[in-house]
Structure 1
């Protein structure tokens, strides 16, 4: 086993404390990654606080991981020591079901293995990227383009792919009218990506507080959803709406903004149900859908697309002793637009 410094929560209320966890010894197809940076995702908070069900403590969150390969198993062919790599929201799947064979491992019919808070094929409880090292099978590692900093690459492994995948799947492109609900960690990436894909992009946010940012990031239009007139003015306007917020919203009001055959895709995952009235869908053949990250192949495609178009998230670096503060600021929507932990600050704890 490989002793590893980490930051963990020991109960749903926190706080984070330094701890040591053990990573498995390398299997033939494993790589050992020295983590340099780990993004903070709202999902980390939901999971650690038990919003999505009970978890085992201590828990080390983190599924936006960027680092350097420091050791490889004897049968590894995809990576070499020194490679710049990333790990996202999953670290394994069955590899044999129809979905896995299609390259959609995130929808594994036998259940993907999450990067943290899951049981892996070896019977171990997975622990995430708020740590100095991680061991992952090579098939669930992606290569970070040389032109991209590891610090800004980290959030792409969740916020990037979570928004890239539905935009690609539902055809964001020139001539398409795309609305992004929320301008947070996911939303700001969705704006950048949809703009790069050529769509006409509108941000729908509670207030106009971030309007200047939204337009700078690539939005063509920006509206406040706190103004009831917004829903009247924009009724039937969009081909695709991507909802990135993790809080309860009036989903029927947003469905009314879809044009004929339009789709609203939920990527934010609030703990509360979102009631949908069937007559929000029937009259204009609208669809209400969901999307979960992306497969490994698509995640690599997303990284390469971002490198080609010079797209990176806007980040704020924090040290390991400021994770609790960062979490509170995420909950207060006080981040523009993604916190990233400098893992080097925990190496000597």
Structure 2
């Protein structure tokens, strides 16, 4: 491997091969004035990777096939932790040698009203850490790799108190739930938060809601995760597979946060009346492109509730989240896997089968790639 001309990572360009990315060398994007290179130490495995590798969020061919330069294959991974080894001439937010985290966003315009109001994740020119074209036509490559290149704004300082394997899931999964929880319950007295889906996102949402002072309800179809939810900090558990599960829950919640990655079992007409007046149902779990929400207009009528979504979080929120984890001593539930073709395949396959409680982090990058020296 010749650095920085070539990175190495685990890639594929055919959805049929989603479970078996192969080690490859590739050209990184052209180096920008505010770009940094991260030598990867570890990287979380997120459900987004499954959708990306299966091309489940698009009716078009995989984006990497249309890249104007660089690889025609795709490396995924956007829960990156590592050390900065190179910086552009205009970088001010970090320096070589810093341990940083990188989440699901790698760039934005940094000039628009959203970028200048701590909403850079909603920038119209936002570029995701993988599977997303830059303005020059390069399709972004992610963190199942020796290195990753990104704009400094999206490389967050990491508190020394948190080991890297626990930092990784906070970069995407944790930030994705922290932003809407904070924005929806800030300033409220004794807020109640309902978390639907006790998985990779939901288990962190329980911990974060509790740390932010909420009374937390974990909502799942059955009782198999009740004990785990209690250990994570949930005050109550609701199984929607039970008859009359919503009895007594009308006008109850300041926020319902949907963390499930499928909409097929959501009874929105039963869930929405559980919200207090003008409060929100926010969905952060993104399903396959073929799935829809099914809801009757009358379900909004009696409490004036709202439905919406939330995208990632800002740099400010990412830093605040990690400080919250330090102060309240919560950590994602993580199983580590050694990075390799076999390790990547195992993680993706087991995640697809639901065989994880509740996040995977790929480790051993320095040993595998011969970095970290």
Give the TM-score, by structure 2 length: 0.89
Q: How do 1:3-82 and structure 2 match up within 5 A?
A: 3-14=6-17, 15-24=20-29, 26-53=31-58, 54=60, 55-57=62-64, 58-82=73-97
SS of the residue corresponding to residue 302 of structure 2 reads helix
| Residue 302 of structure 2 corresponds to residue 283 of structure 1 | yes
Asked if the contact 2:78–2:102 (Cα under 8 Å) also holds between the matched residues in 1, the reply is: yes
Residues 262, 74 of structure 1: alpha-carbon distance in 2 compared, 3 angstrom cutoff: closer
* Cα pair 1:2 1:24 within 8 Å, conserved: no
Question: Distance between the aligned counterparts of 1:121 and 1:92, measured in 2?
Answer: 11
Does residue 143 (structure 1) correspond to residue 157 (structure 2)? The answer is yes
Q: Deviations over 1:270-310 (max 9, x none)?
A: 12111221111111111112111111222122122222222
SS at match of 1:289: strand
CA offset at residue 186 of structure 1? 0.6
Match of 1:307 among 305, 309, 326: 326
- Matched with 2:353 is 332
Q: CA RMSD of the aligned region, Å?
A: 1.8
Choose the corresponding residue for 2:237, options 204, 222, 225.
222
Matched, 1:112 2:126: yes
SS of aligned partner of 1:256: helix
Judged with a 3 Å threshold, the aligned counterparts in structure 2 of structure 1 residues 332 and 225 are, in CA distance, closer, same or farther, namely farther
In 2: Cα distance, 1:150 partner to 1:180 partner: 26
Q: What is the CA-CA distance between 1:73 and the residue it aligns to?
A: 2.4
Residues 289-346 of structure 1: CA distance to partner in whole angstroms, max 9, x if unpaired? 2111111222122122222222221111112322222222222222111111113464
Structure 1 residue ranges, 4+ long, deviating more than 4 angstroms after superposition:
none
Which residue of 198, 204, 208 corresponds with 2:219? 204
User: Structure 1 residue 259 and structure 2 residue 280: aligned?
Assistant: no
Give how far 1:233 is off: 4.3
2:211·2:324 contact (CA, 8 Å) conserved in 1? no
Residue 257 of structure 2: aligned partner:
242
Instruction: Please state if 1:274 is matched with 2:279.
Output: no
| Conserved? CA contact 1:236–1:257, under 8 Å | yes
Partner Cα distance (1:69, 1:310) in 2: 26
Give the deviation of 1:93 after TM superposition. Answer: 0.9
> Relative to structure 1, is the Cα distance of residues 274 and 336 closer, same or farther in structure 2, using a 3 angstrom cutoff?
same
- Give the whole-Å Cα distance in 2 for the aligned partners of 1:276 and 1:188: 26
Contact 1:174/1:198 (8 A) holds in 2: no
What is the alpha-carbon distance in structure 2 between the residues aligned to residue 301 and residue 274 of structure 1? Answer: 32
Deviates more, 1:236-245 or 1:248-257: 248-257
Shift of 1:76: 2.2
Q: Secondary structure at the match of 1:304?
A: helix
Q: Cα offset for 1:259?
A: 2.8
Which whole-Å CA distance do the structure 1 matches of 2:343 and 2:222 have between them?
28
Moved more, 133-142 or 180-189: 133-142
Please state if 1:195 is matched with 2:210: yes
Distance in 2, Cα, partners of 1:174 & 1:327: 41
1:260 to partner: Cα distance? 2.8
- Deviations along 1:152-193, one digit per CA (max 9) or x if unpaired, are 101101111111001111016651111100111110110001
The 1:259/1:78 distance shift into structure 2, 3 A limit, reads: closer
In 1, Cα distance between equivalents of 2:15 and 2:268: 29
SS in 1 for 2:282: strand
Q: Matches of 2:349 and 2:270 in 1, distance apart?
A: 29
Unaligned runs of 5+ in 2: 65-72
What secondary structure, in the 3-state scheme, does the structure 1 residue paired with 2:133 have? coil
Aligned length: 348
